[in-house]
Amino acid sequence: MEVSVLNIKGQETGRKVALNDAIYAIEPNDHAIYLDVKLIMANQRQGTAKSKERSEVSGSTRKLGRQKGGGGARRGDINSPVLVGGGRVFGPKPRDYSFKLNKKVRQLARRSALSYKIQENALVVVEDFTFDAPKTKAMVEILNNLKVSDKKTLFVLPGADKVVYLSARNIERVQVMPANALNTYRVLDADVMVVAESALAVIDGNLTK
């Protein structure tokens, strides 16, 4: 599969780059995508929610009423969950939400997400670029030239580029990330991916090991 390479002015350079069919032309596996996105979201959870149970609430442990004959429930002390200000039954406790997912499944999920982008014609390859200094106006111009200014756009670069990152930081719905940090969630979350030509080799290296 071949894709035309554009320059940052949105014009075709006359060159084409071959995409690896083992990455961009597979039958997407929706279940692998689900598991990988679930893992990414779980890893972002702090897991610090905590509520007090009846043994942790401050209050007397004196029995409020007799066991029988009161005409109501046997509620015990003032810390009972059935009373206002009492403890909470089965409340949240600090925990780790992360879980293990095999490397091959995660790679399959990323390949599946990239294949979906190709099917949707939502992947654009551009020549490598950078700026002399951070300038939001220059990034906005690129978005307009590529005709993606109205879409949620993900720029994938061959490596970390602080100047490009700072240029895009204040633009709504635009994200910049290095190719080795690319994950399934970011690929699916973007309406269109703009991939630097050199970043394709990095993606190939990460997903064909």
Report CA torsion sign: 181, 182, 183, 186: positive
pLDDT-based confidence at residue 208 (cuts at 50, 70, 90): confident
| Homologous superfamily assigned to 2-46+99-207 | Ribosomal protein L4/L1 (3.40.1370.10)
pLDDT-based confidence at residue 73 (cuts at 50, 70, 90): confident
In whole angstroms, give the CA distance from residue 163 to residue 153. 17
| Largest CA-CA distance found in the chain, in angstroms, rounded | 92
Question: Above 90 in pLDDT, residue 97?
Answer: yes
Do residues 10 and 148 touch, judged by C-beta distance below 8 A?
no
Instruction: Tell me the per-residue pLDDT of 175-184, one tens digit each, with 9 for 90 and over.
Output: 999 999 999 9
The residue extents of the domains of the chain are 2-46+99-207, 51-91
Output the pTM of the full model: 0.84
For residue 180, what is the DSSP state?
Answer: G
The percent of residues above 90 in pLDDT, for the chain, comes to 90
Do residues 93 and 5 touch, judged by C-beta distance below 8 A?
no
Instruction: Tell me the per-residue pLDDT of 25-65, one tens digit each, with 9 for 90 and over.
Output: 999 999 999 999 999 999 999 999 999 999 999 999 999 88
> Given this model, what pLDDT does residue 74 score?
86
Sequence-ordered list of residues with C-beta below 8 angstroms from that of 194, at least 6 positions apart, any chain: 124, 126, 146, 148, 153, 154, 155, 156
